[in-house]
Each structure stands twice: as structure tokens, then as C-alpha cells.
Amino acid sequence: MQVIENSKVKEKVYISKLKNGLTVMIIPKKDIRKKYVIWGTNYGSNDYKFVVPGENTETEVPKGVAHFLEHKLFEQENGVNSLDALTALGVDANAYTTNDHTAYLFECTDNFYEALDELMDYVQHPYFTDENVEKEKGIIGQEIMMYDDYPEWKVYLNAMEAMYHNHPVKLDITGTIETISNIDKEILYKCYNTFYNPSNMALVVCGDFEPDEILKEIEKRLIDNKSNGEIKRIYPEEPKDIVKEKVEQKMEVSIPLFNIGIKDVDVKDDEKVKRHIAIEILLNMTIGKSSNLYKELYNSGIMYNVPSLDYEFSKGYAHVLISGQSTNPELVYEKFKEEINRLKKDGINVEDFVRIKKMIYGNYVREYNEVGDIARMFLSDYFKGINSFDYLEEIETINEKYIENILENLFKEEKMTISVVRT
């Protein structure tokens, strides 16, 4: 078992690669009552075109299979819904699908091993029939229609479509009513057998555990399964330029919503973490809570809340997103561009840089207070090829020169888009 320790947060992660290829990460938290388990597969909505290990031909499945599969795994052959079974044990259980991974999880203080039995049983025993697949289409169809009525979701999807020509990150994770109509049990089993192989999965446990003991408990609940080799994922070629600068949609909202996007496609693997931190610092300096621009927009009544600042990245895509509400989104966009140009011209304010960097470091440290935050973070980062401790180490290497380089090369007007939803 490999042990990686970080002295800054006084935490250790115990990593074990099992014979079947499954990666298990254990983060012990002494004297903490809560226990958290998350079991994920490196399979998300973007993975609809691939070559199955051992095959030569390309497989393409309908959009939305990863999310459909997540829904279906809870249904067992004996008629029990595993989510109901976990809830009956008094644990907080859930599952989710993203662009690049799917995860099944629970948090509890009691009945941990009974809940672990249930989790590891249903994830390893899919049960799909013609009848239950057809029934699920109606349920997910309702979910798709519901999201179509969410202004927050539409403003996000419209921003993705304004940035990306071909990459599936621009598509709805759930698929569409039309695409899910083409899903059948054979497709579900093929995707399950391809992507839910242990060699494509990781399990993270966080709580008051002895690493050797909990690892044995996990191993004895695993069914006999062999690693099936690397899956070749196929993504379309994505141009560097954006599709269009602005997209607007009319919906019922009290205050207009906006997403400002900046497309970033040239991310080197060895620079992912450093780049992410630098962008986070820059966003907080330009339009974060303590920035002069945000104060100006707030005091003038153009914005009432601090915008959400994100950098999203995975295989073949990366982008900045600034999301919020404003009485005049276009003015926010113009003011943001003006602030970027001012920073390029005048240079980075060193005091602001140092202060924001310390604030972000403090945020990273606080993420280690909650078992759920820790486990989800380690799983998500693992599928991106990152050890979560890297953020605590890399932040020290970032200086003003690196920040100014990112500012100059990424924050360009020709890479920017704005999506607006207003009444």
C-alpha cells in the first residue's frame, strides 16, 4: 500500500491497486464519527464513442447512456431498490453523473458495514430487462423536460454550445428524449461491462478507519473480476476558436442570468493543477468578492450577489465560467473585459496577488474538514490524473510572472462568450 502524506494539512492517503485493477484510496480521520464512501467509474456523458478492450471496431452509443446506467443500477433482481434499502439503514446515499465520471456514495455514522454490503452489491450486479429499461425512459424523460425549464441549466448549456463546436461537453449529461429512446438493455450491459470493470474504477473511503482493516473489508466484498485493459475513448477534433460570442434565451426569471465563458483547449497534463490555481487567483482578482470591479457593480445595483467562479477541465476540454445574476449582464461582460485589459496594461498588483493566494490556500485547507468533501475531491481529481494534495504543494510555486502569462495567453476577447437568460 502506497502512503502519501501532506504535512500542511497533516493528512495521509493510503493508495492500493488491487489485483483486479481497482484503485482504493483510504483517508483516515481519527475520532470523526462520520464515515463516507464513494465508488466511481471513469465513465461520464462524454464517453459515447469508444473501442471496447479486445475489439477492433468503434462502438457508438446514444447520448445519455452513462446517466441512464446510473439510474438503473439501483434496481435489483429481487425487486428491491438499493437507494431505498440504504435509506432504511439510516444512511445518506446518492449517485451522480458528470461529463467524465459516475459515482455512487453514502455517508453515515452507524450501520456502516451493512451499507457497504448494499453499495458494493448493487454496483457489481446490474439487472436490466426490456420492461425496466422502457419504464426508466419515461422517468428520465420527465427529468429532461424538468431541466429544460431550469433557467440556471439552460444558461449553462447555452454557454457550452457557444464555446464548443464538436466536443460532447456541450451536450446535456442526461441526453435528449430522442437519444434515450434508442437505449436498450444490450447497450446498457455493453457499457456496464466496458466501463464498470474494476481497472476503470476507484473507491475512496474517508473516516475513522484502520487502512489495512477497511481494505480487507472492501476486498472480501468484491466479486471475482479481471482487469479488461485500457478503453480507447474517441472524441471529435475541437477547434480552438469559439462558435459565437453571444447567445440569449427568453425564460421566466426575476433577474437576468449570465454565464461568461473563456475557452481553453491547450492544457498540458503536467500543468493542469498549476494552471487551475492561477486561473482561480486571476478570477478572484478581477471579479471576486474583494475585487474593485465587483464592489463597483454591487454599489451601482448591477449585481447583488458574488458571481460563481469556476475552471472546468477534463479529457479534451477546459474552460473558465463566471456565473451570476445581473440587471445588465452585457455591462458586466464589458466591464470584465475592461478589467482584464487594464490588468494586462498595468500589471498585477502584488498585494492583491499575495492576499488572494493566501485566501485560496485557506479554502484548500478547509476542504479537509469534511469527510464528504475529501472523498469526492480525491475521486474527481484521480480521474483527472491528479492527487488532491498537489494543489497544496503547487500553490507555493505560483508567482506574478506565471499569473501574467496566463492572463496574456488565456484571457483573450476572441476566446470569450456570454450566455444570457432574461424575461
Could you give the residue numbers annotated as active site? 70
End-to-end CA distance of the chain: 57
Query: Which secondary-structure segment (H or E) carries 158?
Result: helix 151-163
C-alpha grid cell, residue 358: 493566501
Distance CA 263, CA 254 (A): 29
Q: Could you identify the residue written with the cell 470523526?
A: 32
Interatomic CA distance for residues 288 and 30, integer angstroms: 35
Q: What cell does 89 get?
A: 439503514
Cell 429532461: give the residue: 144
Neighbours of 81 (CB within 10 A): 12
Beta bridge partners, 320, equal 262, 311
The rounded distance, in Å, linking the Cα atoms of 42 and 383 is 6
- Paired with 97 in beta bridges are 102
Burial label, 173 (beta-carbon count in 10 A; 0-12, 13-18, 19+): buried
How far apart, in whole angstroms, are the C-alpha atoms of residue 16 and residue 22? 8
Q: What's the grid cell of residue 66?
A: 452513462
Nearest-angstrom CA–CA distance, 277 and 283: 10
Q: Which run of H or E residues covers position 332?
A: helix 329-346
Which one, of 125, 31, 150, lies nearest residue 75 by Cα? 125
For strands 2-6 and 11-17, give the pairing: antiparallel
What is the distance between the alpha carbons of residues 63 and 218, in angstroms, rounded to a whole number? 33
Q: How far is CA 371 from the centre of its chain?
A: 18
Is-contact 206 105, C-beta < 8 A? no
